[in-house]
Structure 1
């Protein structure tokens, strides 16, 4: 693709991406078991909840325990305050390669509630390691009520050299 074919209003990163993007990928839906297995293979995701009737997204680390997502937090955190009243949240994690346009994404929707059992809390604290210098003295369990996921894979119907412009 020559420079004249790339619109000038795109950012430099978007122009480079458009000029070098691999061919389109095929989206393959994951079953529940595979989606949860992949979710358990990574440590970082994003929790989505409402605060003051507006959506809030926070990156956070997690562990998977008996098909529930466990996240660590601290007293006073917005998600901890919201979870004490039992709210429905979404949790998303992925492993997507921007160079090859391959990978996967999983979203779980379910009820978020504080972990109150001291034994469970102590066990989760051994496995949850916060990325910030702040003690995580609470944990929240997110039930996996709705689990959706997909992988992006090369489309075998496209020739290896095909692009969106051909």
Structure 2
């Protein structure tokens, strides 16, 4: 049995235009859920997470048992290379935007900073997330998907 839950693509043509880094970070800060991409056993791994954008960095909460926490705990400078993606694309019209940030992730270890992030970012899957990971963006790219006639 084959299940096809794909939405039909609208017949109207679409245009993909680049978004500058300032607008890309503004858009990323306007949503609370994204996907962090990191390496586990030499292969790419993607996890959906909620985030907050603080002082130009992306902050996510984690717990002791996650692969990302383990990787950032033992990382040396400059940190663990990760990508972070967030988007808002309408499932019916297929219009919207997507932002990808590539940078280095660090485990937050300073108690005052960690407490600040814990107060600002409530976990949505496990309330015992005692760790925070901060991603400093080094490469910021984004696209906006619009109708071709706009």
In the superposition, the TM-score normalised over structure 2's length comes to 0.90
Structure with the larger helix share: 1
| In structure 2, distance between residues paired with 1:133 and 1:53 | 27
Give the superposed CA RMSD: 1.6
Match of residue 164 from structure 1: none
1:127 aligns with 2:116: no
CA contact (8 A) 1:22 1:100 kept: no
Is the alpha carbon distance of 1:155 and 1:70 closer, same or farther for their aligned partners in structure 2, counting shifts above 3 Å?
Answer: same
Give the 4+ runs in structure 1 shifted more than 6 A. none
C-alpha displacement of 1:22: 4.0
The aligned runs of 1:65-144 (5 Å cut-off) are: 65-84=54-73, 85=75, 86-144=79-137
1:45 aligns with 2:34: yes
Match of residue 151 from structure 1: 144
1:32-69 CA distance string (max 9 Å, x none):
00000000000000000011101110000000011110
C-alpha displacement of 1:134: 3.6
| In structure 1, distance between residues paired with 2:112 and 2:4 | 52
Is the alpha carbon distance of 1:11 and 1:75 closer, same or farther for their aligned partners in structure 2, counting shifts above 3 Å?
Answer: closer
User: Which structure's CA Rg is the greater one?
Assistant: 1
Q: Secondary structure at the match of 1:126?
A: helix
Q: Secondary structure at the match of 2:69?
A: helix
Unaligned runs of 5+ in 1: 1-9, 158-166
In the superposition, the TM-score normalised over structure 1's length comes to 0.82
| In structure 2, distance between residues paired with 1:22 and 1:98 | 14
Match of residue 3 from structure 1: none
